Structure 1
Amino acid sequence: MLDGEPKSGFQELLDYHLTEWSEDRAVLELTISPKHCNRAGLVHGGVLATLIDTSCGFSATFCPHPGRVRRVVTLQLTTSFTGQVRHGTLRAIAHKKAGGSRIVFCASEVFDENGKLIAMGEGTFRYRTGSETPHGVAL
């Protein structure tokens, strides 16, 4: 993680990386391996949905204060699959679009290494207690 927060077990399992993180924006990257593919040898839709969900969550939770974090829970997530990919690197780019003090709305697009749009989605997220402000909570 860019701020020193340890990886979650799910992040370890899928092996995605937060490569950019700033106010209202997050970028995740994932190098495709066989564990990410379905029976047809294509990246599984669940992997793409995870990248959308996770990148959106990060776009809403940037915390500029060392040793502190912000967290959200997903209330709703939509996904649309627009392409297929077998290998290379995926890049999910998410932006926080709107929201209030507790509920926020974010969108993400997932591209292959050639810049082709593979999937997109939007989500609604609720800040966990203490995460409503940029100060967040202690790690």
Structure 2
Amino acid sequence: MGRSRTYEWSDPAVTAAAVGRASGLDLLREMLAGRLPGPPITATLDFTLDEVEEGRAVFSLTPGEEHYNPIGSVHGGVYATLLDSAAGCAVQSTLPPGMGYTSLDLTVKFLKRITVDTGRVRAIGTIINRGRQTALAEATLVDARDRLLAHATSSCLLFPVPVSED
């Protein structure tokens, strides 16, 4: 018999509308506090934003079978999503109101296998450099004993975000 999982998410337009109005750090703090909904991908994969400060963001996930690839371990795309989120939000946390970002690339190095037995994992993103038009960030994926499971670097494009008049 097949397994199933049901989940809900909030309208992503609510958070998207807030992007240009506040600093990136304030936006992420509003999500962390539950005053703004997180992006739907966090519900899809069941991961959470746990910490944010300027230049740093931490996400976590408890691996489940729903994250598995055909060989019985967590799919690399799940690793990449966590690392991309952590690195990108580390960049976002440094942006002033009216600025946004998008990832230009993501380079991931997979170092250890993750299964349900691994337990909760954390993706810790930090900014390395931010210029006027681009930023460079890195993220590490670690287990509860801080063993390195994966590493990523990401380049991001910075751009002005149009603010809607409400």
Decide: shared fold, TM above 0.5: yes
The structure number with the bigger radius of gyration is: 2
TM-score normalized with structure 1 length = 0.84
Task: Report 1:1-139 matches (<5 A).
Answer: 1-3=31-33, 4-62=35-93, 71-87=100-116, 88-130=119-161
Percent identity between matched residues is: 30
What is the RMSD of the two structures over their aligned residues, measured on CA atoms? 2.3
SS of 1:94's partner is: strand
Note the C-alpha offset of 1:61.
Answer: 1.1
SS of 1:60's partner is: helix
More helix by share: 2
How many residue pairs get matched? 131
Q: Match for 2:93: what amino acid?
A: F
More strand by share: 1
Query: Runs in 1 of length 4+ with deviation above 2 angstroms?
Result: 68-71
Q: Which runs of 5+ in 1 are unaligned?
A: 132-136
Q: Which runs of 5+ in 2 are unaligned?
A: 1-30
